[in-house]
Amino acid sequence: MKSLIFLLPTTAFAALTSITQNDVKNGGGCKAMTVLFARGTTELGNMGSIAGPPFVTALGVMMGGAANVAVQGIQYPADVPGFLVGGDKGGSQLMAQMVGQVRAQCPDTTLVMAGYSQGGQLVHNAADMLSAQDSAFVSSAVIFGDPNNGKPVGKVAAGNTKIICATGDLICAGQAIILAPHLSYGANANEAAKFVMSNMAAGGAAAGAGAATKGAAAKGAAARMVKAKYFIS
């Protein structure tokens, strides 16, 4: 029977800050950027603490303030059985549904799908469920500590995806063993955020869009390019 093995000192865990974010669920209005983030196995809240909060904090700085970024954590059990079957089914479906919801409600936002560990499995699974139009709306997909390392992220353009795997992270090698490198991804927050900002400036959401959505996507991308011009560092 497979199980998830933790081999690390307790000091490796990050501090718990901003572990729950519900901007989309609470109807906070459309922002220049929207981030859907799925936390890792056993993490608390709906954002976790290791990769999610540092990542969205970095994006807030680069976007000129957190008020310009809507953040929604994906609520799902984040338990070991979910990880072992390739990612929680319900959480994957919820993430895919939220992509469509954001596209319908905020067509000019820059949409980012992101996840850490099992949350990365959810990103892969959700991306596989997206329509062509929803896939084209995803400006960036970012995964930290990807258990599905090496696999495409659904129909999201390869140039719009970034997989970050630390040296020595056995989760990225397909093994269910947690070592210290798997808990280090807060250090990659700026790297990931800069990738997202670069895609935003390039109009990533317009890549591969269908004829019915290209005009709106291009209009939104043009406006976003102006914003990104000032905020990339």
Catalytic residue numbers read 117, 169, 182
C-alpha 157/C-alpha 147 separation (Å) is 19
C-alpha 143/C-alpha 147 separation (Å) is 9
Angle at 171 between CA 90 and CA 45, to 5 degrees: 45
* Residue at 154: amino acid letter: G
73's tokens? 């954590």
* Residue at 23: amino acid letter: D
- Label the pairing between strands 5-6 and 110-116: unpaired
Tell which residue, 104, 208, 224, has the closest CA to residue 161: 208
- What sign does the dihedral 18-149-190-69 (CA atoms) show? negative
177's tokens? 């063993």
Start-to-end CA distance of the chain, whole Å, equals 47
